[in-house]
A = this chain, B = another copy of it.
C-alpha cells in the first residue's frame, strides 16, 4: 500500500461530463501519474449518434449506453462519481455539486456538453421535445407510438389525421434521421398491425429554416439527401420557419408564400442546441467570454484566459482549429471534434506537469456522414487526395459499419449488430415498448 501522503500528492484532474470529450480525456490519462475524477449526471456514456434509434424503437436504451464505471474498471487512476456540477469556484479550485458536495481539483476539464435550444421560446419544449438524453428518447418514442395508438381509437377524421401527421423541425443530421426513420416505421413496420387506420397513410413533414437540409454537407449531398427523403415518403420543406407550436400543431411561415398551419400531435424538435448552463457560470467565475450559443470561448490550447488549469472541450467550447500556416477555423460540433479536444486537453495537462508549453488544438477533419433511412445515407470523406462523396446504399453501409465500429464496448456492438440485422430482414422494430404510468396501489 502506498502512503496516504504519497497518494494525496498526485495531481488531481477533475473531468466534468462523460460524453465523447470527457471520456477520451480520461482515457488519454491512463498511464499518467494523476488521480482522475470523472463526474456526470448520468451513470452512463451515451452514444448520441444512435439516440434517434432509441427514440424510434429500433434499439433498446442499454444498447447505446455503457456504464462509465464499467468502462474504467481497469483504469485504476479513475474514480467515477454520479453527480451534477452546478458551479466552479475557480479561485478555490473546487467544483460544487448539486447535492452540496465539493470536488477540489488541480486541473479541470469541463465537457458538460449542450442541450436543446428553443431560441427563447422555452414554452415550445412541452409540445416539441428535443433529443439529447435517454429520457428525451423515451418521451419521443412514447409520443410516436402513442400517436398511432390514438389514431386507431379516434373516430373523428380530422383529429385522426392530426394524430397521423408527424413533424420534425430542423434539417440537420438528427432531423433527417428522425424523419427518414419515421417514414420507415409508417410504411414498413406498422402496416398490417392496425385494423381501423392505415399507418402508411401517415404524413411525415420535415421543416428546415434554411434553403437546404444537412447544411454542414456540400450542396450536392444535401440535394441527394432531399431526394432520398422524398423517395421514403417524407415531405421536405426548406425555407420554412416555425412561428408557433402548441398541443394541436404548429404555424409555419415559408420564405416565399403565405403562413399556414399544420395540425399535428407529434412534433420533434431537432432545430437548435445551446451550451450547458455551466458554460455561463464558468465564464462568470473566470472572466472568460461566451458566444451567442452560450459556448465558452477558449484559448488556442483549449484553456481559459488566465486559467491554464481549466480547459473547456466539446460542445461547450467555442474552439478554433489551428493548423500551421492557415488562419484559425471554428471546430464543428461533432463527436470527432470532441474526442480530439479531449485528447489535447489531457496532453496539455501532462505538458504543464512536465513544465512544457501547451499545444494548440488542431482539428483533423475526416469527413462527415449522415443516414436517412434504409439503404439511404450521404458520405463526405476528407482524404489526402481530396473529398470523396457518395450516397445511397453504399453510403448507408459505410455509415452502418462506422457507427458499429465507434460504438463503445464490444457488448454493445454485438447487440446493435443483432438488433439491426433483425430490423433489416424483418422490418420489425424491436423496442416498441410504451410503459403506462407506475401501477398505483388500489384506492379503497
Contacts and interface: CB of A to CB of B under 8 A. Distances in A.
A73 B193 CA distance: 5
Main secondary structure of the interface of A (DSSP, over half): loop
Interface in A175-215: 192-196
A74 B139 CA distance: 29
Given A43-B145, A153-B81, A193-B70, A441 B118 contact: yes
Interface in A267-288: 274-277, 280
A294 interface: yes
Given A433-B43, A441-B118, A442-B115, A149 B428 contact: no
A418 B414 CA distance: 10
Contact of A82 (B149, B280, B411): B149
Contacts of A443: 277
A298 interface: no
14 contacts: A43-B149, A44-B432, A61-B433, A69-B193, A79-B152, A82-B149, A117-B442, A129-B438, A135-B438, A138-B435, A277-B444, A294-B442, A414-B418, A415-B415
B70 A433 contact: no
Contacts of A135: 435-439
Given A44-B433, A411-B428, A439 B193 contact: no
A41 interface: yes
A53 interface: no
Contact of A430 (B62, B134, B433, B434): B62
Contacts of A70: 193, 428, 432
B115 A440 contact: yes
A86 to B, nearest CB: 12
Contacts of A413: none
A439 B51 CA distance: 14
A47 to B, nearest CB: 12
A101 interface: yes
Interface in A313-367: none
A275 B442 contact: yes
A439 B432 CA distance: 23
Contacts of A149: 43, 81-82
Given A81-B153, A411-B422, A44 B441 contact: no
Nearest to A117: B441
A161 interface: no
Interface in A121-152: 122, 125, 129-130, 132-136, 138-139, 145-146, 149, 152
A63 interface: yes
A433 B444 CA distance: 35
B42 A116 contact: no
A312 interface: no
A35 to B, nearest CB: 9
A60 interface: yes
A67 interface: yes
Contact of A441 (B116, B152, B438): B116
Contacts of A73: 192-193
A158 B104 CA distance: 24
A300 to B, nearest CB: 27
Given A115-B440, A135-B439, 6 more contacts: A60-B61, A82-B153, A101-B153, A125-B441, A276-B442, A415-B418
Interface centre among A67, A136, A441 (most CB of B within 10 A): A441
